[in-house]
Each structure stands twice: as C-alpha cells, then as structure tokens.
C-alpha cells in the first residue's frame, strides 16, 4: 500500500528580491488615481448585461453580424485560427463609447483553477482521490499534501512526481512507457469524475469573475483562458459556470496543447501567437507562483488574485496582488484599473 505521509517537495521557484509591487496596487481598494464614483458608474454601465440593449449584448450582436466568434470550433482549432483577433481601432472605439481609457489591454488571459473557480481543494483533489480509490491504489491526497503537489503544473505530471517520490503502486507497471500510459489512464478517470462534479454547478465562480469578463467583452478586449488542466474540464467550467453566451466569445488554451506546463510560458506564448497579440499589451490573471512565473516569462503584465492554497506564496514579481477580483470595484478591481496598471508598467 502506498501512503501519503511523505513526499519530496518540488524545488522552490525563486524570484529576484529586487522585484516589488507598486504601493498603490497593494491596497485592498486599488482604484488609486481613479475616482471611485466614476469607476463605479463605468462598471455599472458595463455589467448591466440583461436585455437587448446592454453593452455586452451590443458587442456580441456586432460580433455575430461581422462573423467574429470564439466558439467551440475555433477553440478546438486554436493554433490555426486568428480570425477573431479584433482590430485595435475597434477596441479603442468601444472603450471610448464606454468611457474607459483608450489604452486598454489587447486581451485578458485568465488561469482557470483558483482564478475562475476555486477548484483545487474540493474539486480536483477530491476527483484524484476518487480515481485512486476506484483503482484500489490505497492513495489519499489530504489537503496539506495536495497544496505541496500544486507546485507541479499539470495533473499527469503531478501524479508522476508523487509516485516517483513515495514509490509506485503495486498495480503500476515498471516499464517507463507503460507507466506513462498508466498515469494517463488515471488522469482520464479523474477528469471524468471532475467533469461530473462541474456539471452539477457545485463549484461557484470566484467573486467578480463574470463582472470583469463582461467589462472586457463590452469594451472589445479579447478574453481567453490559459490553463494546464484538461481541455474538456476547462471547457466545462467555462460553459457551465460562465454560461454559453460568454463561452462563445472566449478562447481556451489548455491541457496538452503545449508540450511544457507552467511555470514554462508556452501556454501564454501560444495564446499570443494564435490571437495575434502583443504580449506587452496583455494582462494575465493568475493565482499561483508558477502561473505568475509563466506570465512574466511571456512578457505579460500579471495580476494575482490569491486563492486558498496560494495565499502565502511569493508574489513579489506580480504587477498587483488582490484577494479577489471582487463583486464590485471597491472590493477589488475593474477594467479601468487594469488599463491604468498596464499603462504604468509599459
């Protein structure tokens, strides 16, 4: 029987100590330099998404008329599709109409787990354990251990690292190629279990996620999700938790679409090249040190929203750190804040 009592921790990722946050972006209310009342008015105008005349609905209707879409077929063929890259003039015009700064980012790139939904402890961890139980492996990942394992990007990589550290189950083959297939099978089972959990709607969105996405879409800013998790699982989270209407206008880059996982920047580099983006004009929303490292290595601005597992990690290289995006700008930040942050760091 394999136990979960010991594991060699992953090497710590170090960030130069000279990196620091601008003081105005450490505060719980980040709208320094942006009048709170006007920020709230802009947000209220943008996120009133019900009805035909809402800002989001107008943008989505205009996209449909122009043939601009980020729907399921585009996401499936992500490396080859660039047609939904919106001209900068369109973004600027939408921003001006909404009363936002013209120098908006070209794209907001969201991590999934811990950013859109706090899935790790009560979602992925539970699904891993259920997959282990179904295979009779005698393995259980408790909450603290799983927090350590999150230093490894990617579920298959995480399991391999764990078994290499504590010993492989008796049911696992000894040949390296066969072990890789064994891990892939476990991960497939885990993903199916996780998707069942997602489909129930048991994992709610983190505060402010839908609001910020609506603001971005209404202003013509591209929105994508860049994750090391399985593409089907990420797609289910986006579709179920954010709704089909938003999902149709978001791109997904996930799973094995790149050979290396975070902290390697490959997933963000792929998003930039596929969507014809200038990395210096992209803002990434991450929740972990390895995600932050990937975003900065891709040359992008990175805002961290801390999650339960990552609150004590080193975020000294981040451009801003918040507890959450927030249901209102007063609780976190909005698109105007992101634009000002981008301008101040480029």
Helices (H), ranges, the chain: 36-47, 55-66, 72-76, 88-97, 125-134, 143-149, 155-166, 176-199, 209-218, 231-242, 244-247, 266-274, 289-297, 335-344
Which candidate in 63, 113, 118, 214 is catalytic? 113
Close Cβ partners of 278 (under 8 Å, ≥ 6 residues apart): 106, 272
Which candidate in 63, 111, 214, 319 is catalytic? 111
3 state DSSP class of 61: helix
- Angle at which helix 335-344 crosses helix 209-218, to 10 degrees, equals 70
Close Cβ partners of 315 (under 8 Å, ≥ 6 residues apart): 21, 289, 292, 304, 306, 321
Per-residue b/e over 74-92, b at no fewer than 16 CB within 10 Å?
bbeebeebeebbbeeebbb
Is 113 among the catalytic positions?
yes
Is 312 among the catalytic positions?
no
Catalytically active residues are 111, 113
């Amino acid at each position: 029987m394999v136990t979960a009592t010991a594991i060699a921790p992953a090497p710590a990722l170090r960030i130069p100590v000279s990196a620091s946050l601008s003081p105005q972006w450490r505060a719980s209310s980040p709208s320094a330099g942006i009048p709170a009342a006007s920020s709230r008015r802009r947000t209220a105008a943008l996120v009133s998404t019900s009805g035909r005349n809402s800002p989001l609905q107008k943008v989505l209707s205009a996209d449909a008329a122009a043939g601009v879409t980020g729907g399921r077929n585009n996401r499936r063929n992500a490396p080859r599709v660039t047609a939904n890259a919106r001209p900068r003039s369109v973004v600027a015009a939408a921003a001006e109409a909404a009363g936002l700064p013209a120098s908006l980012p070209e794209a907001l790139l969201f991590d999934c787990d811990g950013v859109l939904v706090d899935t790790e402890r009560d979602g992925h961890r539970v699904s891993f354990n259920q997959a282990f139980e179904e295979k009779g492996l005698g393995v259980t990942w408790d909450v603290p251990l799983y927090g350590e394992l999150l230093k490894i990007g990617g579920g298959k990589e995480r399991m391999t690292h764990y078994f290499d550290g504590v010993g492989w189950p008796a049911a696992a083959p000894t040949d390296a190629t066969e072990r890789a297939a064994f891990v892939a099978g476990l991960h497939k089972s885990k993903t199916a279990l996780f998707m069942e959990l997602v489909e129930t709607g048991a994992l709610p969105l983190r505060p402010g996620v839908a609001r910020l996405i609506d603001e971005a879409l209404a202003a013509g800013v591209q929105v994508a999700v860049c994750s090391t998790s399985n593409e089907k699982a990420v797609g289910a989270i986006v579709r179920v938790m954010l709704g089909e209407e938003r999902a149709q206008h978001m791109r997904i880059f996930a799973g094995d679409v790149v050979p290396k996982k975070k902290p390697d920047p490959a997933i963000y580099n792929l998003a930039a090249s596929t969507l014809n983006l200038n990395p210096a004009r992209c803002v990434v929303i991450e929740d972990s040190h390895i995600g932050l490292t990937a975003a900065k290595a891709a040359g992008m601005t990175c805002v961290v929203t801390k999650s339960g597992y990552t609150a004590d990690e080193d975020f000294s290289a981040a451009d801003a750190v918040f507890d959450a995006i927030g249901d209102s700008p007063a609780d976190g930040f909005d698109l105007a804040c992101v634009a000002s942050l981008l301008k101040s760091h480029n």
